[in-house]
Amino acid sequence: MSCAFVAGVGMTRFGRFPERFIKDIGAEAVLEAIRDAGVNPAEIEVAYCGHTRGGSTVCQRILNEIGISGIEMVNMEDACASGSAAFRYAYLAVANGMADVVLAIGVEKLSDKIKGVIPPRKDDLEGLFGRIMPSVFAMIAKRHMYQYGTKVEHFALVSYKNHLNAVKNPRAMYRKELSVEEILNSPVICEPITLYQCTANADGAAAAVVVSERKIKQLGKLPVRIAASVLCAGGARVEDWDYTVSLSTVNASRRAYEEAGIGPEDLDVIELHDCFSVAELVHYENLGLCPKGEGARFIEEKRSYINGDVAVNPSGGLLSKGHPLGATGLGQVYEVVQQLRGNCGERQVENARVGLTHTMGGGVSGLESGACAVHILVR
Amino acid sequence: MKKYRPFMKGVIKVKDGGKVALIGGRCSRCGKRFFPRRVYCPACGAEKVNEFEIGGTGIVYTYTVCHVAPPDAEVPYAIGYVDFDGVRVFGKFVNWQERLDIGKEVELIPWKEGVTEEGDELISYRFEVK
Ligand SMILES: [Zn+2]
């Protein structure tokens, strides 16, 4: 496999844009990424587009809008990891020598489709019984509290930190600082998770131009190398599995560390899948940032703050930046690339050199998760 | 005569006297057990997976009470995972108010989920908190 680099990134603001078409939202992010990379649109050889509810041939509709047609285009669905799947396939196309310039797009428009909680599938055993996404993480929270003595305040602290980070991110959906009391006193969604500990469904798009070594040299861009790319489905739960562990996150991150030749201690910045406050807390453990059961201490000691050991979700994360399902993975790539380039202004992580993105997708009865993607980016 | 039908194929058995048992899988090679049953063993890939029945009394592993729901469900409702002799099963609780907690005992009971167009009862299950 040869090296692959991110030459350009683009992202819309995440939020609710009921008056905009999905193709316009997508085109905005793609245009920014192409211009950022400095490539000619005619140089793009393949395009992958991740989305969950965009309907048929979204990639074609977006690219036709700006005058790109006739090339190989593939639309991908892997629930909330759809954008990360598109990014991985762009990486694979370049790393396998199939193309020099590949476009990855993530896009979603939910504001005209879903109000409030996403309805679970009726053909899924657990979905039928009302296993909505916040309940999955509420059950993890209950078990984590039982096994390790974690308190609701610890979960709220995660949400506090991410809202604080989002204040400094002009592309985030919610840019208001919230106190721990406000977070805990907001309406209960699934016990013990309250409203301000849940991500918000959003509209938005993000895109990345992935290129070969030859091309990145020609473009004269700061090379941000994709040092690892892993995507896997969650494993089946057999007998006495531990609900506080995301085994797909553990396995995918260990494989990614090995591929990149680094350890978790080398990471400067992480954008991880904080769909709910408790998710981020357990992913500190799953990603190996701290020992099992010590996620509460990790946030309490502010080790995941922007100026801590490793900045986790400096963008505000899904909790505050917003969660346009299929766009989320590429939104994470956008943030990490801008952090590695030193473009993040007030929320800049000092001298960030190594970054990781982590995206989870979906829920299936009997499986630990639908999908899990981990990418490591290095400058 | 009224007939009983499982609410979902391959998941539940309706027994004489209206009792129910869930259908789990036990691998003939590695011995691992899981619910629901699959064609191949998810742990080792073996093709021979034997059926075994899950039921009786279980222990609550984790749970939550949901205060929001998709439009067709009533709130609040309680859901969670229960261990039946080492096999963890997801379901909905009944008789849970102010009684439900991790470690509590529950009973697997039959539950009428609905009625088919032919008038047959669709039989599902619930966890009744003791
Ligand atoms: Zn087996």
User: Is residue A118 one of the residues assigned to a domain?
Assistant: no
Contact B32 A129 (CB under 8 A): no
* Same domain membership, residue A16 and residue A149: no
Is A358 tagged catalytic?
no
Question: E strands along chain B, which residues?
Answer: 4-6, 12-14, 20-27, 33-34, 49-54, 57-66, 77-84, 87-94, 105-115, 121-129
Quick: pLDDT tens for A256-267. 999 999 999 999
pLDDT above 70: residue B1? no
A360 C-alpha to ligand 1 centroid (Å): 27
Residues in chain B within 8 Å Cβ distance of A247: none
Quick: pLDDT tens for A77-86. 999 999 999 9
User: Is residue A79 one of the residues assigned to a domain?
Assistant: yes
pLDDT above 80: residue B128? yes
**A98 touches B: beta carbon within 8 Å:** no
Residue of A80, A198, A344, A372 marked catalytic = A80
Quick: pLDDT tens for B25-46. 999 999 999 999 999 999 999 9
* Same domain membership, residue A328 and residue A195: yes
Closest CA to A284 of A307, A302, A304, A269: A304
Q: Is B59 helix (H, G, I), strand (E, B) or coil?
A: strand
Which residue from B42, B66, B83 is facing A236, i.e. has the nearest CB?
B42
CATH number at residue A238: 3.40.47.10
Tally of structural domains, chain A: 2
Chain B residues 51-90 with a CB less than 8 Å from chain A = 61-71, 73, 77, 79-81, 83, 86-88, 90
Residue of A144, A154, A283, A323 marked catalytic = A323
Report the C-alpha gap between A183 and A162 in whole angstroms.
12
* Same domain membership, residue A218 and residue A234: no
Which residues have CB under 8 Å from A198's CB, separation 6+? A134, A189, A275, A276, A319
Quick: pLDDT tens for A278-320. 999 999 999 999 999 999 999 999 999 999 999 999 999 999 9
Rg (CA), chain B: 16
* Same domain membership, residue A140 and residue A33: no
User: Is residue A120 one of the residues assigned to a domain?
Assistant: no
Range of the domain at A208: 4-113+202-224
Contact B79 A236 (CB under 8 A): no
Q: Which region among A34-38, B66-70, B109-113 has the lowest average model confidence (pLDDT)?
A: B66-70
Check residue A127 and give its pLDDT.
85
User: Is residue A61 one of the residues assigned to a domain?
Assistant: yes
Quick: pLDDT tens for A178-233. 999 999 999 999 999 999 999 989 999 999 999 999 999 999 989 999 999 999 99
- The pair of structure tokens assigned to A287 is 């990603």
Which residue from A125, A190, A236 is facing B65, i.e. has the nearest CB?
A190
